[in-house]
Each structure stands twice: as C-alpha cells, then as structure tokens.
A and B are shown apart, each in its own frame.
Chain A
C-alpha cells in the first residue's frame, strides 16, 4: 500500500515536472514567434495603440492606489523601526531605495499580473474557444502578430511608465507622511536622505529594467495560456488562473536574478 502510494507520488511529481518544462518550452517558442513577427509591427500598429492604451491609462487608478499605500506603509515601518543610533535621513534613504528598487516594481507587477495577465489570458482564451483565432488565420492575419506582439510591446514599454508614475506617488506619500502628517523629519533632512549615496543606475534599474522585464513576462505568459485554452468556460478560467500564477512565479524568480546579476 505504502509502496503504491509512493509510486503514485513520484508519477505525479514526474508529470508535473514534464508539464512545467513543456510550458517553459512552449513559452520560449511563442517568444521566438513573436520576435519573428517584429518586422510586421507597423502592419499591426492599430492593435499596438489599443494595447498601449490598455496597459497604461486603464491601469493608472490601481497603480496610483497601490503606490500611495506602498509609500505610506514603508514610511510607517521605517519610522517604527528607527532608533536614536541612526540619523533619520539615513532611514529615509533606506525607505527611498527599498521603495524605488524593490517594493514598487514588484508589488505593482504582481498586482498587474493579476489584472492584465488574467484579462488578456481570458480574452485570448475566449477568442480561441469561439474560433476567432482560426478566423484571424483564414483572414491571412498572424494571430501572434495580431494578438501577442502588440501586448508584449505594450507590456515592455508601459510597465516602466506606470512604475515611474507609481514611484513618484510613493515618494510623495512618504514625504507627506513623514514631514507633513507626523513631523518626524524636516523637509531638508528628507531631501538629504534622497540625495545620500545616489546612484543613477539604481533609478534605471528600479524604474526601467525591472518593470520592462515584468511587463514582458505578464504579456508573454498571459498570451501563452490564452492561446493554449481548450474546452469551454472552465478552460478560460483555468487559463486565467495559470497565467496569474505562472507570471507571479516568474516575476519573483526574475526579481532575484536581476538583482543578483545587475546590482
């Protein structure tokens, strides 16, 4: 009995492992197909403009709320942990760098993986099950060029824009909390904290490199699960869930490796 159970466990483990590597392989294939479609991006410019709008304007309200509370939360934690041994502008510096380099990019990307990743997987998935993807093919339109490429470019370009906007808001809310509301630090000391050990690359890293990679992951993974949708409404639901889960896992893995490689 125990032997049978362990056999089943290892069989399941094997299946999951194969399924994981198959998914990674298929995502890589989709990436190659999308890169091949890049020369025809002008042909799909209208779809690209729609997706740029979708990835930016429609995500601004949620990004704003998250950014404001990240700034407030980080400040509350920072001021709570502060001691007399550390100058307050040093703590501002820690809050500032943590927010810009880590908190805002990753929290925002994880939330947007839920919002954008799920919606685009569901959108492409329902197109798949209602034969709309096949209809595109019969109209001599490449589904990867028409659906995936515009979303990937939009993710690559717009996540950094949203993150810059979010970082400004987070910084402003941190200033508001620590200087205006609690009077914990003076405006001059706050600015000194921001200027201390300032490295421009860290700004590029937190505002451009990380969000661009995460935006790309969200669009690529969401599109992959959308295109692989089978069955009916349940299939679309599964595609959305998988898109969010896999995007989130990839984002945290890439977060670690990007930091390790580039900082």
Chain B
C-alpha cells in the first residue's frame, strides 16, 4: 500500500503541491485526474523521488521512501517502474538494448535468457520483433509508448507509474495503451498509478480515482462516484461530460 501524507512542494516560492494526502491500495489501478498545470507530473515524480518534496511523507508498505539512504533507495527502486510522458527511451540505444539494459545491469541472466525476456515483452505489447533493431527515432509515437511499457514490464515491478500515457496519441493508439495497462496489471499483479487528464482512460482502467486541482486532492473514490458536475468543476466547463 502507498500512503501519501501532507506532501508539499514549491518552486521559486510558488506552491505546486499544497498538502496532498492519498492512500493507494495494493494491486489497484489508481488514476490521478486533473487538467494541465495542476501539479500532476510533479506529484507522480515525487512518489518515486525524482522530485524531493519540501515536507510530508510517502510510505510504501510502511517504509518511508523519503528517509531511505541512497543505497537503500537504489535497491528499493527495483520494485518500481515508470513510463514517462515522452517515453524517454534512450536514443543512443536500439529497442533491443533499451529493453536489455535493466536485465544486463541488474539481473544475472545469460544473453539467451535476456533475449527471450525481451522478445516476450515486445510480443506482449503487440509489436513485431523487427522493431528490436530500430532506434527510437525510427518509431512512431504509439510504438515508442509501447516499447516504454515493455521496458517497464521487463523489471517485473511491484509498482508501475504512468505519466500521461495517452498524451499525443491518436484514439486508436490511446485505446491500445489503455488495454496494455489493464493487461499488464494482470500479467505482473502490479499496483498501477496513473496521472492523466484523459477522462476516457480514467473510465477504462481505474479502480480508484483522485481528482487533483490547484495542488490538492479534491475527491477520492471509485470512477462511478464521479459526477458530470464534478468533472465540470475540475475542468471548468459546463455540461460537457455525460456520465
């Protein structure tokens, strides 16, 4: 279980996160929903210590990750995978090497075992093995996102974080990504944490929804508990959402 308590973060005196409290149960898919510029990316990066909060605590199964020593944290990171908004594939490595990197560096596997694991991951995300020799710049946005999900999957993490996984994708690719998030959750029994502004994605994948507005969580509950009025309030619209 992830327990977030009173997380605050400011940049140049400008508060972005204003005391966030949130509990995310194990094996759930939690979606943190909110419009752009509300601190979603800052929040999700804070959950994996890519950004250090000014105050507050973040416990994973009772362990406060903000108080872990560097070595302890490096070891703990093996439980965590992160899918970045722009995929963040290493552009000096081909797809095979991108997927292999974690296995080579952290697992005592033979080259053959690594290859099998990579092939399994790439097939899981619905790509042909032909892409393994390609560099990220040769792939479409949708393919890059799927490779990023394969890279996250290869770690077999306990927690998997997605930063705006459908941003910049057409409807078809966005649906495939939603499908993959659901499939991956069952494949590796991970807790998934997603930040997004995409209401359709929230409807397709979430077990728990938290609404983030102006640096605070204004609502936590199931997706069925969210009313059209709540979404109108969140996105500052009028009668746009039909739930």
Interface residues in chain A, defined as those with a beta carbon under 8 Å from any beta carbon in chain B: 43, 46, 123, 126-127, 130-132, 134-135, 137-142
**Neighbouring B residues of A141 by C-beta, 8 Å:** 101, 105
Bound-state Cα–Cα, A132 to B105, Å: 17
What's the Cα separation between A130 and B75 when bound, in Å?
25
Closest Cβ of chain B to A32, distance in Å, is 14
Task: Verify A132–B77 contact, CB threshold 8 A.
Answer: no
Question: 22 A-B residue contacts at CB 8 Å?
Answer: A43-B105, A46-B104, A130-B91, A131-B88, A132-B90, A132-B91, A134-B50, A134-B82, A134-B84, A137-B77, A138-B48, A138-B50, A138-B77, A138-B80, A138-B81, A138-B82, A139-B77, A140-B75, A140-B77, A140-B78, A140-B102, A140-B106
Chain B contact residues, CB within 8 Å of chain A = 45, 48, 50, 74-75, 77-78, 80-82, 84-86, 88-92, 101-102, 104-106, 155
Q: Are A140 and B74 in contact (CB under 8 A)?
A: yes
Chain B residues with Cβ under 8 A from A123's Cβ?
92
B74–A134 touching, CB < 8 Å: no
Across the A-B interface, the 5 shortest Cβ-Cβ residue pairs: A135-B88, A131-B88, A138-B82, A140-B77, A131-B84
Q: Do A137 and B155 have beta carbons less than 8 Å apart?
A: no
The complex places the Cα of A141 from the Cα of B74 at a distance, in Å, of 8
User: Does A142 contact B86, Cβ atoms closer than 8 Å?
Assistant: no
Contact partners of B80 in chain A: CB under 8 A: 138
B104 to chain A, nearest CB (A): 8
Q: A142 to B50: give the CA distance in the assembly, Å.
A: 12
Residues on B with C-beta less than 8 A from A126 are 91
Closest to B84 in A: A131
- Within 8 Å by CB of A142, from B74, B75, B88, lies B74
Whether A130 lies near B86 (C-beta < 8 A) is: yes
Does the CB pair A137–B78 fall under 8 Å?
A: no
B191 to chain A, nearest CB (A): 15
Chain A residues, CB < 8 A from B101: 139, 141
**How long is the Cα–Cα vector from A135 to B74 in the complex, in angstroms?**
13
- Chain B: CB-nearest residue to A135: B88
Please indicate which of the listed interface residues B81, B85, B91 has the most CB atoms of chain A within 10 Å of its own CB: B91
**B52 → A minimal CB distance (Å):** 12
Q: Smallest CB-CB separation from A131: which chain B residue? A: B88
Chain A residue contacts of B45, Cβ below 8 A: 134
Q: Which residue of B lies closest to A126 (CB)?
A: B91
Of A43, A46, A134, chain B has the most CB atoms within 10 Å of the CB of A134
CB neighbours of B82 from chain A (8 A): 134-135, 138
Besides A126-B91, A140-B102, A140-B105, 8 more A-B contacts (Cβ < 8 Å) are: A132-B88, A132-B90, A138-B82, A140-B74, A140-B75, A140-B78, A140-B106, A141-B105
Give chain B nearest CB distance to A50 CB in angstroms: 9
Q: Whole-angstrom distance between the alpha carbons of A137 and B51 in the complex?
A: 11
Q: How far apart sit A47 and B33, CA to CA, in the bound complex (Å)? A: 39
Q: Which residue of A lies closest to B82 (CB)?
A: A138
Q: Which residues of B contact A131 (CB under 8 A)?
A: 84-86, 88
Complex formed: what's the CA distance from A137 to B85 in Å? 16
CA distance A137 to B81 in the complex (A): 10
Tell me, rounded to whole Å, the shortest Cβ–Cβ distance linking B155 to chain A: 7
Q: Name the CB-closest residue of A to B154.
A: A139
Complex-state Cα separation, A43 to B49, whole angstroms: 23
CA–CA, A123 to B75, complex, Å? 28
Q: Which residue of A lies closest to B105 (CB)?
A: A141
State whether A139 and B102 are in contact (beta carbons under 8 Å apart), knowing that A131-B85, A134-B45, A134-B88 are contacts in the complex: yes
Nearest to A123 among chain B residues (CB) is B92
Contacts of B105 in A (CB 8 A): 43, 139-141
Cβ–Cβ contact A137 & B88, under 8 A: no
Asked if B50 and A130 make an inter-chain contact with CB atoms under 8 angstroms apart, the answer reads no
Q: How far is the CA of A134 from the CA of B74 in the complex (A)?
A: 13
B residues within 8 A CB of A127? 90-91
User: In the docked arrangement, what's the CA distance between A43 and B74, Å?
Assistant: 14
Residues of A within 8 A of B85 (CB): 131
Q: How far is the CB of B225 from chain A (nearest CB, A)?
A: 32
Q: How distant is B165 from chain A, measured CB to nearest CB, in Å?
A: 14
**B88 touching A139, Cβ below 8 Å:** no
Docked pose: A43 CA to B101 CA in angstroms: 12
Chain B residues positioned under 8 Å from A130 (CB to CB) = 86, 88, 91
Shortest CB-to-CB span from B102 to chain A, Å, is 5
| C-alpha spacing A123/B105, complex, angstroms | 22
Q: Min CB distance, A141 to chain B, in Å?
A: 6
Set of chain A residues within 8 Å of B88, measured between Cβ atoms: 130-132, 134-135
Report Cα–Cα, A140/B81, bound state, in Å. 10
User: How many angstroms between the C-alpha atoms of A37 and B74 in the bound complex?
Assistant: 14
Bound together, the chains give a CA A92 to CA B84 distance in angstroms of 61
A130 to B104, CA, bound (A): 23
